Amino acid sequence: MKKSGILNSRLEYGLTKLGHTQRIAICDAGMPLPFDADVIDLAFIPGVPSFIQVLEAIAVELKIESYWIAQETSKANPAIKKEMERVLCDLPFQEVPHEELKKITNESQLFVRTGECSSFANVVLVCGVTF
């Protein structure tokens, strides 16, 4: 049995398939996702797992080049924005209107739904390359 890291086999497999410039959307429980998308649904009960728990685990496993968040996050959920910035350090990012973020989200290659039930707890990560 694997001792540490991501234990969810579907998520681990999905991360290993991602290449440079491909995208992963990590979303709260309410984010509308494409109906036919293959979503890795980690939501168990409201708040579990949290958006930040999932982001932290993925950030350890994945080389991230940049990311997108909704402009509305700054005012509607400043605590989540602060935590995202902590986890993603000094990576470049773009703030776009939430409606535009939904479109960017829909172009992702991997979708991960968390149990987060606070507003605008969504991010689209752009994969980097390790060499």
pLDDT tens-place string over residues 94-104: 999 999 999 99
Catalytic residue among 7, 13, 20, 38: 20
Specify burial of residue 73 (Cβ count, 10 A radius: 0-12, 13-18, 19+).
buried
Under 8 Å CB-to-CB from 115, ≥6 apart: which residues?
29, 42, 43, 44, 45, 46, 47, 48, 49, 50
Known catalytic residue at 98: no
pLDDT > 90 fraction of the chain, expressed in percent and rounded: 96
Look up the pTM and report it: 0.96
Q: With contact defined as beta carbons under 8 Å apart, do 25 and 116 qualify?
A: no
pLDDT tens-place string over residues 70-86: 999 999 999 999 999 99
Q: In whole angstroms, what is the distance from residue 91 CA to residue 107 CA?
A: 21
Q: pLDDT at position 1, please? A: 85
Give me Rg for the CA atoms of the chain.
14
Alpha helices per DSSP H over the chain: 9-17, 51-61, 73-76, 78-88, 98-106
> Which domains does the chain possess?
22-37+46-127 (3.40.1650.10)
